[in-house]
A and B are shown apart, each in its own frame.
Chain A
Amino acid sequence: MKIFETFLLIGLIICALSVTFTKRMLTAIVIYMSYSLIMCVIWVILQSPDLAITEAAVGAGVTSILFFVTLKKIDGFGGDSDNEQD
Chain B
Amino acid sequence: MLDIEVLFTSHLEETVAMILFGIGFSLLLLNRNLIKKIMGLNIMDTAVYLFLTAKGYIYGRMVPILTDGITDPNAYTNPIPDGLVLTGIVVSVSVSALLLSLTIRLYDRYHTLDLDKIIMEWRKEEDA
Contacts and interface: CB of A to CB of B under 8 A. Distances in A.
> Chain A interface: which size bin?
35 or more
Nearest to A23: B33
Contacts of A28: 35-36, 39
Interface stretch (B56-64, B66-74, B118-126): B56-64
Interface of chain A: mostly helix, strand, loop or mixed: helix
Contact of A20 (B26, B63, B82): B26
> Chain B interface: which size bin?
35 or more
A32 B24 contact: no
Given A9-B16, A19-B39, A76 B93 contact: no
Interface in B69-125: 77, 82, 85-86, 89-90, 92-93, 96-97, 100, 103-104, 107, 113
Interface of B: 12-13, 16, 19-20, 23-24, 26-27, 31, 33, 35-36, 38-39, 42-43, 46, 49-50, 53-54, 56-57, 61-64, 77, 82, 85-86, 89-90, 92-93, 96-97, 100, 103-104, 107, 113
